[in-house]
A and B are shown apart, each in its own frame.
Chain A
Amino acid sequence: MRKIVASISFLILLAFLLFIAVKLHPFGEPEEREMDDYFIKGYYNETQNKVIGGAQNESGANNVVTAVVFDYRGFDTLGEATVLFSAVTGVAALFRRLRRGMMEEKRSEAERKEEGLSKIVKTITNIFYPLILIFGLYVILHGHLTPGGGFQGGAVVASAFALVAIAYGKLIVPKFLNKEKMSVVETSGLVGFIGLAFLGLTTTFFFNFLAVGRTPPLSWLSGTVPLWGPNPGALNTGGVLPFMNLAVGAEVLAGLGIIVLFMLVGLLPEEYEEQKEEEKK
């Protein structure tokens, strides 16, 4: 009986998801002109580009969401990245004191090999881990072309870490995630982000100094005019937006990675310390 109910609900869910997948819009559609119009409405100087005038001219982004996230409200994005950074640093600070001998239970070598979920889950994880990583990195890299970017992509990459940790058991985490290196990646991402904001200081903090029409000599870098409408998207558009996006991506993937590591391994400090010593040998 249970099996029948389970398979019927599985089929319903499958049909539902397939239905949604078929009904999805093609990439770049529908063109949400209303959202862009919002920025043009109060724009007195409406001469250059009727379709996207405001956001494109001011930030060099090809969609308004990116323009809002990294240009108009880039400072908020920095703030949100800092919120995540505070949380990660806080977690790291609170787990710092746990040392050898805090846990009484000690596991045998044989038990360790049994860690984690079944072989099916491990196999599926082996297949999906690289795919999730690639997808996450893709989202980060294309963050300035699609609505949504560094933050989301970083979270996707970190979910791959979590998947491996769950499938193989928490003891594997320190083997493929190094806390110190992740921390360097995280802070470098943030330093890069705020550094780009500092570079705009010739005009204002967070000024998009590489955007369309602002730096002719550097236009090959990322200052070419972005295309409007459904198109494959050129990576070198948007001024400083792609670089900020990459920086946020690095920060988020490393930050969430550190949290995954601490939440799973920080609870078993003794075993973690032991593993680190083994690695040194």
Chain B
Amino acid sequence: MTLDWLSIHSPALVVAIPLIAAFATLLISKLAGPKARNGFVVTTLVLELIIGILLARYVLLKGTTVYVFGGVSPAATLAGYTVPVRIMFEVDAFSATMALVSIGLAFLAGIYSLSYMKAHTGLDKYYTLSFLLLAGMLGMVCTGDLFNFFVFLEITSIAGSALVAFFMHRGEAPEAAYKYMTICTVGGLLVLFATALFYSEYDALNIAYLASVLKFGVVEQVALALLLGALAMKAGSFPLHQWLPDAYSEAPCPITIMLVGSTLASLYALFRVCFTLYGGVLNTLIIGWLVIILGVLSIFVGVTMALLQTDFKRLLAYSAISQIGYMLLALGVGLAVLSDPLAMDTYGMRAMEGGIFHLINDATCKALLFLAVGAVFYATKTRDLNKLSGLGRNLKYTSVFFIIGALGLAGMPPCNGFVSKLIIYESVYQFNPVLSIIAILASIVTLAILVKVFYSAFLGPRVEEYKNIEEAPKSMLIPMALLAIVIIIFGLFPDIVLGKLVTPAVHALVDQLSYITRVVPL
């Protein structure tokens, strides 16, 4: 009974809990002190994880779920009107997957922060902003309403840029935050303008309703260009990726992995716009190729720029851009052949499965790498690869975790990245062999870079300066261990995720009609 009730209300609770936690964190740390605050943060994150799992379970059991805010019942989408008036969340399998990824990343970041951020002041604000960032990401992936999406995008942007600037004492942090803020504001305004265009054309903001009445005139083309530009920018895709290395490397490490979540949420929105909002009217071949080209260029630029970096986190940030490229490539192939059922059956769906599975894998591997770098930084206080050497002798666990993450990101066999990349190579090869070859080559370069980094930082002779450094505390090692276990398990038994989470997500993304009819009966 209670479980049912929780499941039905889970789409609202999943966003409401981090919001109320964000508001309450400041109060609690004023009234009860830092220890109680830390306890509160951990309890809330555990609760949030439970709600997230309940939501995913409910969506996978019952199909796409809607939640009408303030309605007479959660499922009363129209309630007498012909146009949906109230704000609603529409959670399908893809949204649920994304929500799980975001919550997982935030959970690990929260545990990791307990020790990592201990020495800093202003932690009540730090946790408050982290909760806001989480709430923003979840709102972005769950919402079924364009203006509501913009609101959550703004929350993510502002909380994110404040957190990027959190290490104010380093001059680079405010600079990176300023860059991030500017990009986010421009992106947010583009989204708002597109929303206004839709509202002026159709008097509605609901994504499902808009998709059901959308025609492809000039206004819609302008809106599509605005949305694609803004979301590709926020996702860190090629031509506008410059903010990403700065923001990723200057943010505190736990925040970096949450920023990974927020870029993935933007990527989610990009595909939601292409597949669901415009799915019925778009010439998908052209837009699909556009996405593919952006993806391939991101792969190429990310990998080549990563080669040149000497800053540990900047290097990882550039390789993160190339991983975004893989997802764009895979889902772009799906988009390009969307209107061709035969091609869709033979390789289109497969490519999209690879893309979404890679999204999960990329989140785990990149999070593990950034957390490992955080452990290195915690011990040595530097991120300069030229200074680091022989750390493996002191940081035993961290070096093991780093190599697992690196193998995962580069796509080597025992890890999950191997499975998803193999699916992408196979299916993209059937679409266009050249693209697949570029992807494989970039993956090899990624491996080379990460192995080189591993060798120079963790192996090799011990440096006098870092002779007596100590391994990170347990609360930093446990999140890394959890991620490493997930990477290996997903690598050895990919079917537990592929069949249960990824395939339903792909079907939900492709099936525009059921997304629409859940809200507006045709």
Chain A contacts to B: CB under 8 angstroms = 38-39, 42-45, 71-76, 78-80, 82-83, 85-87, 89-94, 96-97, 180, 183-184, 187-188, 190-191, 194-195, 197-198, 200-201, 203-208
Contact = CB atoms under 8 A, between A and B. Distances in A.
Interface string B429-464: 000000000000000000000000000000000000
Contacts of A74: 69-70
27 contacts: A39-B81, A42-B81, A72-B85, A75-B148, A79-B139, A80-B151, A82-B19, A82-B132, A83-B155, A85-B23, A85-B132, A86-B129, A90-B165, A93-B122, A93-B126, A93-B129, A97-B122, A187-B27, A190-B23, A203-B71, A203-B72, A205-B9, A205-B16, A205-B67, A205-B69, A207-B70, A208-B70
A55 to B, nearest CB: 10
A127 B67 CA distance: 50
A15 B82 CA distance: 48
Given A74-B69, A97-B121, A184-B27, A204 B85 contact: no
Given A90-B158, A205-B12, 16 more contacts: A39-B81, A42-B81, A44-B80, A82-B22, A90-B159, A94-B165, A94-B174, A187-B26, A191-B24, A194-B19, A194-B20, A194-B23, A195-B20, A201-B9, A204-B67, A204-B72
B68 interface: yes
A244 to B, nearest CB: 11
Contacts of B203: 38
Q: Which of A75, A92, A183 has the most CB of B within 10 A?
A: A75
A45 B80 CA distance: 7
A87 B158 contact: yes
B161 A90 contact: yes
B165 A71 contact: no
B344 interface: no
A95 to B, nearest CB: 9
A193 B168 CA distance: 32
A192 to B, nearest CB: 9
A93 B158 CA distance: 12
B270 interface: no
Contacts of A42: 80-83
A80 B150 CA distance: 10
Given A89-B125, A201-B9, A208-B70, A187 B80 contact: no
Nearest to A55: B85
Given A198-B16, A204-B69, A76 B148 contact: yes
Contacts of B389: none
A86 B158 contact: yes
A184 B30 contact: yes
A76 B87 contact: yes
A82 B16 CA distance: 12
Tell me if B's interface is mostly helix, strand, loop or mixed: helix
A82 B156 CA distance: 10
Q: Which of A79, A94, A190 has the most CB of B within 10 A?
A: A79
Contacts of A187: 23-24, 26-27
Nearest to B87: A75
A105 B19 CA distance: 42
Nearest to A87: B158
B35 interface: no
Interface string B290-308: 0000000000000000000
Given A76-B148, A96-B121, A188 B9 contact: no
Interface string B149-170: 0011011001101100110110
A48 to B, nearest CB: 12
Contact of B81 (A43, A76, A83, A198): A43
A23 B190 CA distance: 38
Given A82-B155, A187-B26, A187-B27, A203 B129 contact: no
B468 interface: no
B30 A79 contact: no
Contact of B125 (A93, A190, A194, A208): A93
A3 B82 CA distance: 62
B132 A86 contact: yes
Interface in B203-223: 203
A31 B440 CA distance: 67
A196 to B, nearest CB: 11
A207 B203 CA distance: 24
B74 interface: yes
B57 interface: no
A96 B169 contact: no
A213 to B, nearest CB: 12
Contacts of A79: 139, 148, 151-152, 154-155
A198 B20 contact: yes
Interface in B42-94: 67-74, 80-83, 85-87
B19 A90 contact: no
B276 interface: no
B147 interface: yes
A180 B162 contact: no
B503 interface: no
Q: Which of A80, A82, A190 has the most CB of B within 10 A?
A: A82
Contacts of A82: 19, 22, 132, 135, 155
B16 A194 contact: yes
Contacts of A198: 16, 20
Interface in B125-147: 125-126, 128-129, 132, 135, 139, 147
Contacts of B67: 204-205
A192 B74 CA distance: 22
Contacts of B73: 203-204
Contacts of B13: 205
Contacts of A86: 129, 132, 155, 158-159, 162
Contacts of B165: 90, 94
Interface string B382-423: 000000000000000000000000000000000000000000
Interface string B6-31: 00010011001001101110110010
Contacts of A208: 70
B203 to A, nearest CB: 8
B415 to A, nearest CB: 36
Contacts of A97: 121-122, 168-169
A180 B27 CA distance: 10
Given A72-B70, A204-B12, A93 B26 contact: no
A281 B11 CA distance: 51
Given A86-B155, A94-B162, A76 B147 contact: yes
Contacts of A87: 158, 162
Contacts of B83: 42
10 tightest Cβ-Cβ pairs between the two chains A and B: A90-B162, A79-B151, A205-B12, A42-B82, A96-B122, A93-B125, A206-B70, A86-B158, A190-B23, A42-B81
Q: Which of B13, B19, B27, B72 has the most CB of A within 10 A?
A: B19
Contacts of B122: 92-93, 96-97
Given A83-B151, A83-B158, A205-B9, A71 B70 contact: yes
B153 to A, nearest CB: 10
A85 B139 CA distance: 16
A43 B135 CA distance: 34
